[in-house]
C-alpha cells in the first residue's frame, strides 16, 4: 500500500541588512575572508497557486548555501556567525518571515537544521548559522526561501538582502563584502490546484509471493494512479515526490514501515521510468486547462538480503511547483 498526500509551497525573497544591524560599523576593520560571499540567489518567473496557504513556502524557491572561511581576530573565536535583515518588516504571525517589498511575498532563512532564523526580529543569537571554532574558522550552511504571506497581485523583488557577520564584534564576514541577495523575475498568481479526489490517495498494490523478487532490483505488482489539476492555461507544472515513511537508502525507492522486510515502493512516470525522489519532475511546459498526469507504483526489492513476507506500507508527499 502506498499513501500519497499533496503539499504546495513557493516563495522568493530579497533582504537588505545594514551593517550596523550586526553590531559593526563601516569603519570596522577587514577580516574573515569567506568562500560563498557575496552570494546572489536568482529566481526566474515564479507562479504562486491561489490555493497555497499563507505562511507556506512557495514551491521551487528553496535555495541552499554554504559559507566557510577563517577569522583572525581573537574576538571572533567561538562566536555565532549571523545573518540578519535591515529595512525589512517582520510579517505578523509568521516568525522569521520578513517583507520583500512585494505584496503577498515574504522571505525566510533557515539554518542547516531547518530552524527559521531571527524569529525575534532582532539581530541576535537566534540569527546564528553556527559558531566559529576556537581558532576562528567556520563552515556553516543554510537555506533561503520565498513565503506566501497573503494575496499576490504580481511583480518582482528587487531590493531584498541579508548581511552576514560575527555577532557583537563589529566584524562583517568577507572583509565587508558580505551580502546574500535575492533577485526574481516576474512573480504572478495562478489559479492552479490539485483536485480534491487526487490530493490524498491510497494506492493498493496486489499481494505477491516473496518468490517474485529473485534478486535486488526486482519489481512486481505495478499499479497506476494519477494526479489531477484544476488549472488555468499557460502554466508550467512540475512535481516533486518525497518519502514520508523513512529512507530506503536508494534515491528512487520509498521505504516501507510494514512488516515485510527487504521491500520498498518505487514510483514511475507516465513512461514507466523510475522517479528520483526529492527532485522536480517536469510534467508540462504549459497547461491548456485542467489536466491529469499518470504515474505508477510498484514493489521493489532493496538488496541482497532475503525478502521476508508481510505487509508493505509506504507513504509519500508530492509538491506541485508552478511557473
Residue 99, C-alpha cell as written in the block: 517583507
Q: Where does a domain end: 135, 155, 190?
A: 190
Is the domain of 184 the same as that of 205?
Answer: no
- Residue 107 domain flag: yes
Q: Compute the distance between CA of residue 264 and CA of residue 245 in angstroms, rounded to an integer.
A: 10
Task: Give every residue of the chain whose pLDDT is below 70, as ranges.
Answer: 1-30
- Residue 1 domain flag: no
- Interacting residues of 136 by C-beta distance below 8 A, sequence separation 6+: 32, 70, 71, 72, 73, 74, 76, 77
Q: Compute the distance between CA of residue 246 and CA of residue 259 in angstroms, rounded to an integer.
A: 14
Is the domain of 77 the same as that of 39?
Answer: yes
Is the domain of 239 the same as that of 304?
Answer: yes
Q: What is the CATH number of the domain that holds 136?
A: 2.60.40.3310
Is the domain of 112 the same as that of 160?
Answer: yes
Q: Compute the distance between CA of residue 191 and CA of residue 310 in angstroms, rounded to an integer.
A: 43
Question: What residue spans of 129-258 are helical by DSSP H?
Answer: 196-199
Is the domain of 147 the same as that of 243?
Answer: no
pLDDT attached to residue 289:
87
pLDDT attached to residue 156:
95
The torsion defined by the Cα of 277, 279, 281 and 286, in degrees rounded to 10, comes to: 150
- Residue 208 domain flag: yes
pLDDT attached to residue 158:
85
pLDDT attached to residue 7:
53
Q: What is the CATH number of the domain that holds 272?
A: 2.60.40.1090
Residue 263, C-alpha cell as written in the block: 521491500
Is the domain of 264 the same as that of 169?
Answer: no
- Residue 74 domain flag: yes
Count structural domains, the chain: 2
Which range of residues forms the domain containing residue 294?
Answer: 193-322
Tell me the pLDDT tens digit for each residue of 227-282: 999 999 999 999 999 999 999 999 999 999 999 999 999 999 999 999 999 999 99
pLDDT attached to residue 234:
92
Residue 67, C-alpha cell as written in the block: 559559507
Own/partner contacts of 268-272, CB < 8 Å, gap of 24 or more, are 268/222, 268/295, 268/296, 268/297, 268/298, 269/295, 269/296, 270/294, 270/295, 272/222, 272/296
Is the domain of 264 the same as that of 140?
Answer: no
Amino acid at each position: 500500500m502506498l499513501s500519497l498526500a499533496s503539499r504546495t509551497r513557493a516563495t522568493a525573497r530579497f533582504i537588505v541588512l545594514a551593517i550596523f544591524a550586526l553590531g559593526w560599523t563601516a569603519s570596522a576593520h577587514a577580516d574573515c575572508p569567506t568562500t560563498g560571499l557575496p552570494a546572489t540567489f536568482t529566481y526566474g518567473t515564479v507562479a504562486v497557486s491561489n490555493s497555497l496557504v499563507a505562511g507556506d513556502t512557495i514551491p521551487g524557491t528553496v535555495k541552499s548555501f554554504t559559507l566557510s572561511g577563517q577569522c583572525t581576530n581573537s574576538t571572533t573565536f567561538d562566536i555565532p556567525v549571523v545573518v540578519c535583515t535591515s529595512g525589512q518588516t517582520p510579517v505578523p504571525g509568521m516568525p522569521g518571515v520578513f517583507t520583500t517589498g512585494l505584496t503577498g511575498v515574504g522571505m525566510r532563512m533557515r539554518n542547516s537544521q531547518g530552524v527559521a532564523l531571527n524569529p525575534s526580529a532582532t539581530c541576535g543569537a537566534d540569527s546564528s548559522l553556527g559558531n566559529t571554532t576556537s581558532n576562528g574558522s567556520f563552515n556553516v550552511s543554510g537555506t533561503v526561501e520565498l513565503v506566501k504571506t497573503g494575496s499576490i497581485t504580481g511583480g518582482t523583488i528587487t531590493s531584498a538582502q541579508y548581511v552576514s557577520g560575527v555577532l557583537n564584534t563589529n566584524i562583517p564576514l568577507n572583509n565587508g563584502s558580505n551580502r546574500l541577495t535575492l533577485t526574481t523575475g516576474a512573480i504572478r498568481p495562478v489559479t492552479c490546484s490539485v483536485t480534491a479526489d487526487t490530493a490524498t490517495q491510497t494506492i493498493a498494490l496486489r499481494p505477491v509471493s516473496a518468490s517474485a523478487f529473485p534478486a535486488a532490483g526486482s519489481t512486481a505488482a505495478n499499479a497506476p494512479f494519477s494526479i489531477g489539476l484544476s488549472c488555468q492555461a499557460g502554466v508550467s507544472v512540475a512535481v516533486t515526490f518525497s518519502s514520508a515513511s523513512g529512507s530506503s537508502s536508494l534515491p528512487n525507492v520509498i521505504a516501507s514501515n510494514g512488516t515485510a522486510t527487504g521491500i520498498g515502493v518505487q514510483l514511475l512516470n507516465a513512461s514507466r521510468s523510475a522517479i528520483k525522489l526529492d527532485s522536480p519532475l517536469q510534467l508540462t511546459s504549459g497547461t491548456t486547462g485542467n489536466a491529469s498526469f499518470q504515474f505508477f507504483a510498484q514493489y521493489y526489492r532493496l538488496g541482497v538480503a532475503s525478502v521476508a513476507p508481510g505487509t508493505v506500507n509506504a507513504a509519500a508527499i508530492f509538491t506541485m511547483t508552478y511557473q
